[in-house]
Structure 1
Amino acid sequence: MRPLEIRQFPCLSDNYGFLVHDPESGETAAIDTPDADAYLAAAEAAGWTITQIWNTHHHFDHAGGNAALKAATGAKITAPAYDRHRIDAVDRWVEEGDEVRLGDHVADVRYTPGHTMGHVVYHFASDGIAFVGDTLFALGCGRLFEGCPADMWQSLSRLRGWPDDTVIYCAHEYTQANAAFALSVDPENRALKRYAEEVDARRAMDQPTIPTTLGIEKAANPFLRADDTGLARSVGLAGADPVAVFAEVRARKDRF
């Protein structure tokens, strides 16, 4: 089976759009739809036809282009079942444990509430690739618009169980700002310091910091390390439950 091909491109002010293409079947999936025109241009440049749309959650910068993209391509829309009342024109509703396919490539649907209560991610386990929307960011995680800290910590803990070499495609270029915050709560983390330097160098050359890998994030991302004793001590919660540590770190990020 030939490997998947991925096109990543900027959308709106700080989103990334992703097209995933199976060269054997010719199928192409749009991961979310921040800007339909940007997706159509990227598909045309690649010589691909968009056949599917996979939404991670209902926010406009992830599903706002659905109607236009479906009208232009006839693509079938897949979206989280929790968002039945918030996303229109969906052909298939999915939830935890379901699978979606691109040719012979299979992605597991994982339910990751926190940023929103309906958020899902798409994990191509055999390909070592995951599209995580706004659940996990490079050196960050999504703001808790609907869920609570316990929801998000449980969701991130599930993602953390994937292999370290899993390639993580997240939806926003927030990494430089996230690095500045991460250093404020975890200043002695050597992996984080190296990562922050690499991020600064990339952004100075206007290069993306996405994708990342799960192993890199596990070593440096404070939101994946709420059960680390050093981080807990750094935020004044030595010995506390990881949910309490996560909640404190998230609250600090919201104020940063």
Structure 2
Amino acid sequence: RNVADELPNATVTDVTARQSRNASTVEVTAENVTTRNLGNALQSAGYEYESVREGVTEATRQQTVDVLRAKINEAGLSGGSVRSVSTAQGDHYVLVEAPERRSEVIDLVNSRGTVRVDIYYPTENGSGYQTRQAVLERDDFQSISTAQQGQGQNPPFVQVSIRESEASRFQQAVVETGVAAQGGTSCTYRQNPNGTDPCLLTKVDDEVVYAAGMRADLARSMRSGDWVNDPTFILPADNYSAAQELAINLRAGALPA
């Protein structure tokens, strides 16, 4: 997070730190970030480093293969395969082969699929709004359902449970920012972003796919502290197709680059 704060146009989900016996690496996948930008960010955040280069690590290539395999499986694309290949010149590529639904495969590959939940809420002096980023990320979820059809006026959704280690932090965040206000909150982010109650924003690749307030009963459970005893949560979507895409991205994980 410290490094991301020092980089232009980068969020915490764009920065990955890995530590091994021999070395530690920091990778940045945000667009338009140069090696000089990263070097300066590391220095500003108080980290020493030996070198900065373009490219990705072997761990990132393998993670890319694993995530794409999972995405293809979650999407039900039979016969698909993903593997890492190298050229004689030492260049590395990820090869994706799928005999069916080519356009859907291309969409899966082109979408990084980073899912996070932000909180959008008024500033203390009421002069505007601010965003608390990544109050929930994929690694915070203990379990993730498949896409579910909504009932009645309720939209399609993906149900998740939050890890015990993260539940208190999320509960505190929604109380502090006013999402869990008494009586619940009504989110009008899309219609009136400058006059809405606090909102939970579900984002995929930094794009808002759903904005929601909080029901009165859930808000009451958050304020009392009872929610952490059964930390389940619903991520709504505009339609069933969007819920399916959300579930695929959550269950398979995001592409690292």
- After TM superposition, the score normalised by the length of structure 1 is 0.32
Say which one has the larger Rg. 2
- After TM superposition, the score normalised by the length of structure 2 is 0.32
Greater relative contact order (Cα < 8 A, sep 6+): 2
